[in-house]
Amino acid sequence: MQSYPAFTAVPARRALTRPGPVPPPQFYRTPPPDPPKPDKPKREWPLAVRLYVQRSFAAENSIADIGREEMELRLKKVISDAAESNTLHTVDWDNLPLPQQMIQAERMRIHTINTSLTSAWRDLSTLNVQETNGISNESLSKKRKSSDLAHGQNEQENLPPWRNTNTGGTFEDRLTYADKRQRNDLVGKTPSKSQFNLESRKRRFEGGENGSTSTHPNVSTTGNPQMPDVEQGPVVGTCEKLEKKYFRLTSAPNPATVRPLPVLEKTLDLLKKKWKSDNNYSYICDQFKSLRQDLTVQHIRNDFTVNVYEIHARIALEKGDLGEYNQCQTQLRVLYSSHLGGHPMEFKAYRILYFIHTRNRTEMNDVLADLTPAEKKAPSIKHALDSRSALALGNYHRFFQLYLETPNMGAYLMDMFVSRERLAALTNICKAYKPDVKLRFITEELGFESDEESARFLCDQGGQAFLEEREDGVRLLSGKVGNIFEAVKDAAFRKVDIKGQI
């Protein structure tokens, strides 16, 4: 586009004579706009078409499994096709099926075709089986009426090849497991995750120790077809030895190596005496695992079974063996649900303290939801709930008071996470008390037995250079050491991952 200057050009004077008249400047003029285009004539739809559209959107003509968007697309297609073919005035709109009726009819037609193809394929496969194997119609009908698992397998085999791909459907079916037992645990899924975990633990307890998912002790975890049938019943032991080493079962147990209940009762008395005298945990743990295995393969579930698991759990707690403790706690939960006696309140309190240690909020919520009002009043459970509440509220003063008053053997569990909570409380003290704080105050607030124990804890966490001895006692320079304790606390609060976790 041509540009024009914003001033009027005047020729320079070269003489004293008056110049002639200056021509008027020429300015750029915008061309006139194009005339507006005439609007397209509005289409007049026939009355029959408008009534057809009204009937399509009427509530009484709607179909539940056909959405409004799908119906509108079909309606638009029907009217557009009629308009393009110039048949708007010739189509019998009063008797023409509605769009949702057309969609429903198409679906029924497709379903009928698939059903007929599947039926033809099933008849063909049945005929082939009869011709090749000579199986009678009676045997085929009996096979279809077998268990649900067999029924599902037959349906899968009878599907035509074009419908027999990617039938897994779920994410678990597409996973690859190193151990087939791990895959079998996920087959019997239930809507609730916690319920599924409980059911799998029940199957493991009924089928053998240490993760065996067999529902009968006589079935090997290796899947050997030579193993006895599951309908044989439990093993009845004949061994008279009181002490026996633990061996993981890889085949059906031999009754000659399994101790009956009277012998197991004597074995328990012997193990209690040896634990008090020798305190050899490796030996005691091995003997208790062997004792538990003999109980499992014989399907012995009574008050004696509960007593065995409770004693083993307490010994494991005392030695800090959370793996064995978790195995015992898991089986005790199943046994308590059968009301076989024991001390369920004590071990429910341990379970709460354990989830405080592992910071497993999901399982903690499940435990709290299962507690009854009567159980919440039990001293051991009330103590565990108060400890959880104190930590949730950040009331470390109350928490360490409860730590010093722990009933039963809960202190062994609290010892596993008390250092972590002391670090959290110590960082708060360093923020609130500056520039220094007495060592005696830290001892009393964090539940230490003496100033020496408190000072040793501070030194272990990197605070030895910030302890000063003055006339009124030893003081911690809280204004300078706070960042060090903060870093140690963050490392201590990392996720806890324990083998054999409940």
Tell me the three state secondary structure of residue 448: coil
Say which residues have a Cβ less than 8 Å from residue 172's Cβ, sequence separation at least 6. 186, 189
Say which residues have a Cβ less than 8 Å from residue 382's Cβ, sequence separation at least 6. 376
68-74's contacts with Cβ under 8 Å and 24+ in sequence apart are: 70/103, 71/99, 71/100, 71/103, 72/99, 74/99, 74/100, 74/102, 74/103
The answer to whether the CB of 200 falls within 8 A of the CB of 182 is no
3-state secondary structure 109-164: HHHHHHHHHHHHHHHHHHHHHHHHHCCCHHHHHHHHCCCHHHHHHHHHHHCCHHHC
pTM of the model: 0.54
- pLDDT tens, residue order, the chain (502 aa): 566 666 677 667 676 666 566 565 555 455 666 666 665 566 677 888 888 888 888 888 888 778 888 888 888 888 888 888 888 788 888 888 888 888 888 888 887 876 766 666 566 555 554 554 544 444 444 433 433 444 444 444 454 444 444 444 444 444 444 444 444 444 444 445 556 666 765 665 555 444 433 333 343 444 433 344 444 568 888 999 999 999 888 888 889 999 999 999 999 999 999 999 999 999 999 999 999 999 999 999 999 999 999 999 999 999 999 999 999 999 999 999 999 999 999 999 999 999 999 888 999 999 999 999 999 999 999 999 999 999 999 999 999 999 999 999 999 999 999 999 999 999 999 999 888 999 999 999 999 999 999 999 999 988 888 888 888 889 999 888 888 888 888 888 876 655 544 4
The answer to whether the CB of 211 falls within 8 A of the CB of 205 is no
Locate 284 and state its tokens: 């005691």
| DSSP letter assigned to residue 468 | E
